[in-house]
Amino acid sequence: QTRVLTGITTTGTPHLGNYVGAIRPAVAASRRADVDAFYFMADYHALIKSDNPERIERSRLEIAATWLAAGLDPGRVTFYRQSDIPEIPELTWFLTCVTAKGLLNRAHAYKASVDKNTEAGEDSDAGVTAGLYMYPVLMAADILAFNAHKVPVGRDQIQHIEMARDIAQRFNHIYGREFFVLPEVQIEEQVATLPGLDGRKMSKSYDNTIPLFAGGAKHLRETIMRIVTDSRAPGEPKNPDDSALFTIYQAFASADETAAFRQSLLDGIGWGEAKQRLFERIETDVAPMREQYEALIAKPAAIEDILHEGAQKARATATPLLAELREAIGLRSMA
């Protein structure tokens, strides 16, 4: 069996990018008999971006309900919350001690902050916490604590998986045994970077997201109507290959539907009508899930139970591995 693992940071409301880039492919993979799936809420990672406890809790509930509404079967999948697994922060420390500081200097998220500070003429590390700096090591621990083979993610996470491989390799080398599987990234090319309202990557940090469920069908439609388009009038041909709207449509539609939509754009349908068609296409998939989501979100206690059970299952894998690692690195008990 292939072990597949992925997580979502609990800092916001799930958006279409999370859904097509991570949740939808991960749920599909979990239905395969040869896959052993581990999916989790990355709430330790959330602390790096947010110091708002209510927001983190609310986001965790929304993300858990989203996974379940999208068809995740907790009987098949090990589904848990990162902060319920004490082996993860423990492993983070073991990995920290073999990770080259220079590797972390090259992490995109850290570098972006440094570049921004430098441009603004400030101290390069102004406002950067050690948590942001350590982000890739915590993520490596998420993956390596369960020796996952494959990590399905959107394109923005590739560097983190490569770093997890580097760190695993280094640990194996230093301690002379294959403790860790070297994880591989799994990318769905078509949806690896879903654009947002302004055409840039859909991201909480750019404030350009289209929420999956929040606000209902009305809000979904209103948000889709805000997708930025060029100024071509109805009747003028549109270029599908230069259109966030088309790219988003493609992420939800079959090949035939996509071809028909492409033709309509070339034939010059108005942007307003194109947006309405995009809304209808997405709503067809989302409406039945939204109903489930509303029911789930009203029962946080039931979700808690599911996550606790998931944490027990997850720890059945992580606890023996950590015991083995402790022995290997010289932290064995003297009794």
| Annotated binding-site residue numbers | 9-11, 17-18, 142, 154-156, 194, 201-205
Q: How far is the CB of 169 from ligand TYM (least distance, A)?
A: 17
Looking at the Cβ atoms of 9 and 30, the one nearer to ligand TYM is: 9
Distances (CA, A) of 103 to 159, 160, 161, 178, 247: 11, 11, 13, 21, 34
**Positions at the binding site for L-tryptophan:** 142
Q: How far is the CB of 244 from ligand TYM (least distance, A)?
A: 11
**Positions at the binding site for ATP:** 9-11, 17-18, 154-156, 194, 201-205
Residues 136, 138, 140, 142: is their CA dihedral positive or negative?
Answer: negative
Containing H/E element for 18?
helix 16-18
> And the tokens for 41?
């809420």
Looking at the Cβ atoms of 19 and 261, the one nearer to ligand TYM is: 19
With CB atoms as reference, the residue minimizing the distance to ligand TYM is 21
Looking at the Cβ atoms of 91 and 269, the one nearer to ligand TYM is: 91
Q: How far apart are CA 136 and CA 164, in angstroms?
A: 7
Looking at the Cβ atoms of 4 and 269, the one nearer to ligand TYM is: 4
Backbone dihedral angles phi then psi of residue 126, each to the nearest 5 degrees: -60, 130
Give one word for 331, left, alpha or beta, with left for phi > 0 and alpha for psi -120 to 50.
alpha
| CA contacts within 13 A on the Cβ side of 141 | 27
Looking at the Cβ atoms of 35 and 269, the one nearer to ligand TYM is: 35
- Order of strands across the sheet with 184-186? 78-81, 35-42, 2-9, 150-152, 184-186
Looking at the Cβ atoms of 42 and 65, the one nearer to ligand TYM is: 42
Q: How far is the CB of 157 from ligand TYM (least distance, A)?
A: 4
Q: How far is the CB of 151 from ligand TYM (least distance, A)?
A: 5
DSSP 254: -
Q: How far is the CB of 266 from ligand TYM (least distance, A)?
A: 25
Q: How far is the CB of 108 from ligand TYM (least distance, A)?
A: 11
Q: How far apart are CA 102 and CA 322, in angstroms?
A: 26
Looking at the Cβ atoms of 212 and 269, the one nearer to ligand TYM is: 212
Comparing C-alpha atoms, which of 36, 4, 29, 22 is closest to residue 66?
22
Q: How far is the CB of 127 from ligand TYM (least distance, A)?
A: 19
> What angle is formed at CA 157 by the lines to CA 50 and CA 131, rounded to 5 degrees?
35
The binding site for ligand TYM (CB under 6 A) comprises 5-9, 17-18, 21-22, 42, 45, 139, 142-143, 151, 153-154, 156-157, 191-194, 201-203
Distances (CA, A) of 138 to 158, 196, 277: 15, 28, 42
Place of tokens 């090949």: 255
